[in-house]
Amino acid sequence: MRIIAVEITVDPDQADAFEARVIQHSENTLEEDGCRGFEVARDLSDPARFMIWECYRDDEAIEEHKNSPHLAAFRADTKDMVKNRNLIIAELLR
pLDDT in tens, 55-86: 999 999 999 999 999 999 999 999 999 999 99
> Which overall architecture, per CATH, does domain 2-91 show?
2-Layer Sandwich (3.30)
Q: What is the mean pLDDT of residues 19-23?
A: 98
pLDDT computed for residue 7 by the predictor: 98
Q: What are φ and ψ of residue 88, in 5° steps?
A: -130, 130
For the cut 90, the answer to whether the pLDDT of residue 27 exceeds it is yes
Q: In what order do the strands lie in the sheet with 82-91?
A: 35-42, 49-56, 2-10, 82-91
Return the bridge partners of 80, or none.
none
* Interacting residues of 24 by C-beta distance below 8 A, sequence separation 6+: 74
For the cut 90, the answer to whether the pLDDT of residue 94 exceeds it is no
Q: What is the mean pLDDT of residues 20-29?
A: 98
Average pLDDT along the chain: 97
Q: What is the mean pLDDT of residues 42-51?
A: 98
**% of the chain at pLDDT higher than 90:** 99
- Hey, where are the domains in the chain? 2-91
